[in-house]
Amino acid sequence: MIKDSDTNIEKNNSQDFSLLKNIILTLITIVLFLTGVIFYGMLLNLRDVPLDKLINQKKIDNISDVSIIIDRKTFTLNLFLNNSFIKKYRVSFGRNLNDKKKFADDGATPVGVYSICQVIENHKYHKYFQLNYPNESDAVDAFRNGYISKKEFDLIMSNLTSGICPTAKTNLGGNIGIHGTGRFNFFLSNLPFVFNWTNGSIALSDKHIDELFSVIKKGTKVVIK
């Protein structure tokens, strides 16, 4: 009986060691894979041409007209200065890509013509350009379809008429904007693929949001399609 017990203990110890070995090897494989992914992303980012250099190449001395076109299908933000295309940025969207934003907390990015209603320089996502979502078109469609009440509709329209960012305290939600990535910037900005993680907002690397900050201001037109 003692010998059988000793044999079972040795067998269990061997199994435990084998399991631990497999776990360690799996963790090492994951770390090496993530390291390789990040390194590849960093190499891709080396090709990035700074905005100020592109502006100089276009010989733009006075920036008089700034607009942004965001494409949800290509995951890009296109910057136009003085009616000329200047630079394309890779962006992330909300977790829900199946539809345009309709309700609060649906994780979708809105579609439409908006403008920047507030610029926040110090934000948890580095810098934040809030959009006037929901805009008039969003509010009208929602009211017609019974998504919001007359009281909610009037509140949104009152905010828009006053020139302030629309309230987020309706069934349509709010607080949608263009922002950086904050404390996760190193990881997210060096991914060689798009990872959609926001509440419906549009996210860029901190470096790129800083570039936009140099030319964007309150009232800048933003088209999301």
For residue 190, the model assigns a pLDDT of: 86
* 3 or 32, higher pLDDT: 32
For residue 17, the model assigns a pLDDT of: 65
Instruction: Please report which confidence band the pLDDT of residue 43 belongs to, taking 50, 70 and 90 as the band edges.
Output: confident
The answer to whether residue 160 is domain-embedded is: no
For residues 98 and 206, state if they share a domain: yes
pLDDT score of 7 more than 70: no
For residue 54, the model assigns a pLDDT of: 95
For residues 77 and 13, state if they share a domain: no
What pLDDT digit, counting tens, does each position of 150-184 carry? Answer: 999 999 999 999 999 999 999 999 999 999 999 99
* 16 or 54, higher pLDDT: 54
The answer to whether residue 144 is domain-embedded is: no
For residues 86 and 35, state if they share a domain: no
The answer to whether residue 161 is domain-embedded is: no
The answer to whether residue 149 is domain-embedded is: no
The answer to whether residue 56 is domain-embedded is: yes
* CATH code: domain of residue 85: 2.40.440.10
* 16 or 74, higher pLDDT: 74
Rounded to two decimals, what is the model's pTM? 0.82
For residue 33, the model assigns a pLDDT of: 65
For residues 43 and 103, state if they share a domain: no
Lowest mean pLDDT among 9-13, 126-130, 207-211: 9-13
Query: d(Cα 117, Cα 222) in Å, to the nearest integer?
Result: 11
For residue 111, the model assigns a pLDDT of: 97
The dihedral sign for the CA sequence 54, 56, 57, 59: positive
Cα→Cα distances 61→65, 151, 213, Å: 12, 47, 17
Burial of 37 (0-12, 13-18, 19+ CB in 10 A): middle
For residues 39 and 81, state if they share a domain: no
The gap from C-alpha 159 to its chain's centroid, in whole angstroms, comes to: 25
Q: What is the largest CA-CA distance in the chain?
A: 92
For residues 124 and 66, state if they share a domain: yes
For residues 125 and 191, state if they share a domain: yes
For residue 191, the model assigns a pLDDT of: 85
Domain enclosing residue 212, as ranges: 51-133+174-224
* 46 or 139, higher pLDDT: 139
The answer to whether residue 154 is domain-embedded is: no
For residues 12 and 99, state if they share a domain: no
The answer to whether residue 21 is domain-embedded is: yes
- Total number of domains in the chain: 2
Average pLDDT value for residue range 79-87: 95
Mean pLDDT, the chain, whole residue set: 89
Percent of the chain's residues with pLDDT above 90: 69
For residues 74 and 27, state if they share a domain: no
pLDDT score of 142 more than 90: yes
The answer to whether residue 74 is domain-embedded is: yes
Instruction: Please report which confidence band the pLDDT of residue 98 belongs to, taking 50, 70 and 90 as the band edges.
Output: confident
